[in-house]
Chains A and B, each alone.
Chain A
Amino acid sequence: MTLQGIGASDGIGLGKVLPVRPASLDYSAVVSGGPETERSRLTAAIQRFTETTTAMAESLRADVGEKESEILTGQVVMLSDPFMQSQMTDCIDGGQCAEAAVDQVCSSFMAMFAGVDDEMMRQRATDIGDIRSRMLSILLGREATDLSRLPENTVLVVHDLTPSMTVGMDRQHVAAIVTEVGGRTSHSAILARAMEVPAVLSVANVVDTLAEGQDIIVDGTAGVVLTEFDETTRQQYEAKRAEYLHQRELLNVYRDRPTVDADGNHYGLYANIGSAAEAQAAADAGAEGIGLFRTEFLFMDRTAAPTEEEQYEAYAAVAKTMAGKEVIIRTLDVGGDKAVDYLEMEPEENPFLGHRAIRYCLDRADLFRVQLRALLRAGAVGKNIKIMLPLVTSVEEIRKAKALLEECKTELQAEGKAFDAEISVGIMIETPAAAWIADLLALECDFFSIGTNDLTQYTMAVDRGNAKVAGLYDTLHPAVLRSIRSVIAAAKAAKIPVGMCGEAAADPRLTPLLLTWGLDEFSVSASSVLATRAQIHRWHRNDAEIVTEHAMDCATAAAVAERLSQ
């Protein structure tokens, strides 16, 4: 049988299922041993909670990041509240066992936090829920399954992979991870990728349907889990796994190498990320900077826009993680396919041609200012942040955005807050209009980044989601290639750096063209960094120039593709 899920971490794992169920926290059989005994049990449990949680936080800080670790240190602070503790001892003095005291007091605080009108505060309810379960498991002596010593080729099957589970996990022996919840940008996905363990997420009820010790195959690239298979299939997957590992090994050679072509010319190789947590994974993958930080994910799945402080923290965290390396942050790109409920964007007939990205932000100066202020302040942390405006079609848009930015600087100055007064402002080139006036736009901004996904869609006037016309969507179409060539040339003429942050940057067929035209920086997903570096290493400038000339002589996308595949 094949179970479909979300492929969240590449690779293939074959092994035996280890279902990890949360320990039962049922304490109905526990009888109070009297107030004295229960009080000292409570004190001992709090002490153990504090010790283990602090240790987990330290280990997480080293392995994953500051932010993840702060979740845990925050829990220690909350449980140390003397008034929370005195409520617990009151319950104990009333004749209850320590378990009941913890359960009742935590539940009442959870209810209190769940009802408040502040998104960030509501998340505290989840923390208190965590405190409750970990305190109960300590009191009941049923601490979570020990994952520090696992048999070889273990496939962990869990409801959700949490940061605390990964602490001290015997990673060498984890063949794969399967979870019941989570998507590609969830915490569990980021953790799995950071550990380089294949993972398939969001497979419903998998913890109960798979038996312990059962042999399964997990294909983290395709997002499938095979629970029943014959010997031939097993061998096929063994071979696929070997091939994947072999490729990864080959690419690993490039991890600490500079990004140079065969003639020794240097290029920038950056990563695209969608959250602050992914920055570390990008750095680990060998990225030399962040070429695109999509800030819209900060705005999604919540009920109100993130505050300046929240945004500042996210941007500053990336700036710190990437210390000394450039971090290009794209301002809010919503609209079209990316609707956000609380922003109350009106439904549009043609959202992709509508009120989105920079157009929306310029009309919502209230929102835009908050983001610009947060970016300016975060710029002071490492002087490595650059601002990038999406979907620009005119010079006026850059001027308006920069005027707002100047106002924000004046405000911050008056408030005595630290900010980067010299922050660079660049634009995404992703519309035909921008491509045609690239020479004029270059006079108004500090850098370009070519967004090939939208540039292709808008140049070809094609909706990728419409199966009848999706075939027309092709970055190798001569119209798109000519646009890219002229944008790079305009940037060169104006002496500003030009990068590319669409999928085409990682397309090996385009590498010789981009090298020939003089692209300064390639920004790709973290998982494509090494493969892209390997591609760039292959090319001598002379060869690349010949290939480019041939490709640009072709009249159709198909002919270009054929040329470039040779």
Chain B
Amino acid sequence: MVSAQVKIINPQGMHMRPAQLFVTKMSAFPCDVTIVFKGTAINAKSIMHLMAACMKQGSEIEVQCNGEQEEAALAAAVELIESGLGDC
């Protein structure tokens, strides 16, 4: 398993459109993708779980990838979040 700490920077936080984009990109990887936020593990391929977690601008999260292509998945996740999830 690989993991990285990132901060949500886009103003909307993990709302519908950013969450939709994140799920679409992550679903392309075969590995499991989990976000740990406030001590809770969230399935990052589920838009419902992502939205319900209420991650906002400034929230510090940990992305964990486990399985096939985990390195590539993590790199993609970090880049996506740090570039503002298409919302800047």
Contact = CB atoms under 8 A, between A and B. Distances in A.
A169 interface: no
B43 interface: yes
Interface in A43-88: 74, 77-78, 80-84
A180 interface: no
Interface stretch (A111-119, A242-250, A400-408, A458-466): A111-119
Contacts of B51: 113, 121, 124
Contacts of A121: 15, 51-52, 54
Nearest to B10: A309
B52 A309 contact: no
B48 A81 contact: yes
Given A83-B43, A307-B12, A116 B48 contact: no
Contacts of A109: 48, 52
A118 B56 contact: yes
B20 interface: yes
B67 interface: no
Interface string B19-57: 010010001000000000000000101111101101010
A417 interface: yes
A113 B11 contact: no
A81 B87 contact: no
B47 to A, nearest CB: 5
Contacts of A77: 16, 20, 47
A105 to B, nearest CB: 10
A514 to B, nearest CB: 42
Contacts of A417: 88
Nearest to A417: B88
B54 A81 contact: no
Given A82-B45, A109-B52, A309-B87, 12 more contacts: A82-B27, A82-B46, A84-B48, A117-B54, A118-B13, A120-B15, A121-B15, A121-B51, A121-B52, A307-B12, A309-B12, A417-B88
Interface of B: 11-13, 15-16, 20, 23, 27, 43, 45-49, 51-52, 54, 56, 87-88
29 contacts: A74-B16, A78-B47, A78-B48, A80-B47, A81-B23, A82-B46, A83-B43, A83-B45, A83-B46, A83-B48, A84-B46, A109-B48, A109-B52, A113-B51, A116-B52, A117-B54, A118-B54, A118-B56, A120-B15, A121-B15, A121-B51, A121-B52, A121-B54, A124-B51, A124-B52, A308-B11, A309-B12, A309-B87, A417-B88
